[in-house]
C-alpha cells in the first residue's frame, strides 16, 4: 500500500511540474506574444487557473502535514 501511495504522489508531482513548466515557458508566452485580445484573455485565465491550483495544492499539503488536532481537543 505504501508503494502505491508513493507512486501516486511522485506521479502527481511530476505531472504538476511538467504542466507548470509547459505553461510558464511555452504556452503562456506564446499566447502573450500572439497579442490578440482572445489570446491575452486565455493567457490571463490560464494564469489565474494555474495560481488557484498551486494555492490549493499548497493548502492541501500544509493541512495534510500538520492537521489541526490541537483545535479539536478541549
pLDDT band at 61 (very low <50, low <70, confident <90, very high): confident
pLDDT at 73 (0 to 100): 56
Q: E-assigned strands of 1-60?
A: none
Task: Show me where the domains of the chain are located.
Answer: 18-64
What's the gap between Cα 19 and its chain centre? 8
pLDDT-derived band at 54 (thresholds 50, 70, 90) equals: very high
Average pLDDT of span 19-48: 94
d(CA 52, CA 56): 6
Q: What is the pLDDT of residue 71?
A: 59
Share of the chain above pLDDT 90, in %: 65
Determine the length of the chain. Answer: 74
**Averaged pLDDT of the chain:** 88
Residues 6+ away with beta carbon under 8 Å from 50: 20, 23
Closest CA relative to residue 20, chosen from 59, 47, 58 = 47
Amino acid at each position: 500500500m505504501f508503494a502505491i501511495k508513493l507512486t501516486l504522489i511522485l506521479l502527481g508531482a511530476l505531472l504538476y511540474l511538467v504542466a507548470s513548466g509547459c505553461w510558464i515557458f511555452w504556452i503562456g508566452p506564446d499566447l502573450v506574444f500572439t497579442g490578440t485580445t482572445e489570446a491575452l484573455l486565455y493567457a490571463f485565465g490560464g494564469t489565474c487557473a494555474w495560481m488557484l491550483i498551486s494555492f490549493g495544492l499548497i493548502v492541501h499539503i500544509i493541512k495534510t502535514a500538520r492537521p489541526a488536532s490541537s483545535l479539536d481537543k478541549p
